[in-house]
Amino acid sequence: MRGIPSTTPWRVVAALAAATLAASSAAATPAQASPIQADPARAATRPLTAKAPDEIPCPKPNVKPPAGRPPRPTPPPDDPTQRAVGGDALATSGLVTPSGSPKPPAVTATSWLVADLDSGEVLGGCGPHVYGTPASVQKLLLAATAMAKLSPKATTTITQGDVTIEAGSSAVGLVKGGKYNVATLWTGLLLNSGNDAANTLARMAGGKSGVAGTVAAMNAEAQRLGAYQTHAVTPSGLDGPGQFTSAYDLALIARVCFDRPDFVKYALTKTFQMPAQKAQKKGGFQIQNENKLIFGYKGALGGKTGFTTIARHSYVGGAEQNGRRLVVTLLGAEASPLRGYQQGEALLNWGFALPKDASVGKLVDPAVPGVSRTESATAPPDDKRGATTPTAAREAPRGMLTLGAAAAVAIVLAGTPLLLLLTQRRRRRDRRRPTPTQPTYR
């Protein structure tokens, strides 16, 4: 249990202490524990309005998969706790939608999710926690990890390692020996899905550890965000053994990105002039944003496209309409009859048509004690706050009453109103995060 501020009103202190003593008593008699008390993932949710997760088939268009499509990588074994992160209703490989909602559009994506970026409410999904291969939408995890670490004005000289990428994969055209600033590299990453830009940014953000250090930081950031099914092997999203994510995890990652004004600025850039490199006798050239959502969709906030022959098409897109910001994530899609961003458009339209209180689950908040999600996303590059460790999470920060002191106050201040007690317990339950067992990737 977290510490209690010393300035907390005495009635609240008493309520918290009483709730703690009650929880301790329940723990001493596990045979009487409720299912929610026994399952931390279920404890992280509140009452849902969704249909029961009984594997309702997801709407699919009547099209055949393309010939020659390679087999999907074998995912890690499913962990029931991970599949329930955000709510029990999300633990399905099929469709989950609010009761009474219209049928979502038929798309070829093997999994997808629509959520509210501000409230965190999940509006619906298809296999939200089903493992998928990310392709270039993994660049959003790179942005969520490294964008706050690098000054946009910082410059670097391109190395051979930066431009050594898989033959035929996307590149923004960086020149070995050329000099570019970080803002140009982020623009090239998000507009042209430059794998050369991803390598360069990862090298810079990793310091002495280089790209490997950044990949490790990306995985740590995924854990901090609650994206427990995400494991990065490359900073760009180029396929690697054991590299997976899920539609739910992508929404957690995208939420951090869309909270950053600099990310949205890059993601909404339609065209950009890459600078000439005179020393290398290379002229400048123009690039165009590959995310077609921003060219015609009302309130588009940007996003990211992705494709590899193994992952197929992946997509993340955000939009704001009538003061409401939604995000759509999808994995494993085919480009016919609708391209990835068009499938995203159709799902966003479906989401915006739902009432604002529609919900089947929740996007969990990042594990940063005492720091809000927005503060974490907009922290300056020199911010020193790190991920929570189990030990640190149990320690009371300065200015807090210890649990023993709170209990003593409870004894003196008996008779706290029951309503206040229940309110405090509910607030703590809504903030609680699951601690699922992490899979081993090989």
Q: What are the strands, taking DSSP E only, across 202-255?
A: none
Q: What are residue 80's phi and psi, to 5 degrees?
A: -55, -35
> CA-to-CA distance for 323 and 11, rounded, in angstroms?
37
Q: What are residue 100's phi and psi, to 5 degrees?
A: 80, 0
- Residues carrying an active site annotation: 136, 139, 193
Q: For strands 111-116 and 121-126, give the pairing.
A: antiparallel
Structure tokens at 49: 């309005």
> CA-to-CA distance for 376 and 353, rounded, in angstroms?
31
327 with 254: CB under 8 angstroms? yes
Alpha helices (H) in 273-417, listed in sequence order? 340-353, 373-377, 390-394, 403-412
- Report CA torsion sign: 40, 45, 49, 51: negative
Residue by residue, what is the 3-state secondary structure of 309-339?
A: CCCEEEEEEEEEECCEEEEEEEEEECCCCCC
> CA-to-CA distance for 143 and 190, rounded, in angstroms?
9
> CA-to-CA distance for 137 and 134, rounded, in angstroms?
6
Angle at 41 between CA 35 and CA 44, to 5 degrees: 100
> CA-to-CA distance for 397 and 399, rounded, in angstroms?
6
Q: For strands 271-274 and 285-288, give the pairing.
A: antiparallel
> CA-to-CA distance for 65 and 62, rounded, in angstroms?
10
Paired strand residues for 95: 56, 126
348 with 328: CB under 8 angstroms? yes
369 preceded by a cis bond (ω within 30 of 0): no
158-161-162-166 Cα dihedral, nearest 10 degrees: 150
How far lies 68's CA from each of 61, 309, 310, 312, 335, in Å?
Answer: 20, 10, 11, 12, 15
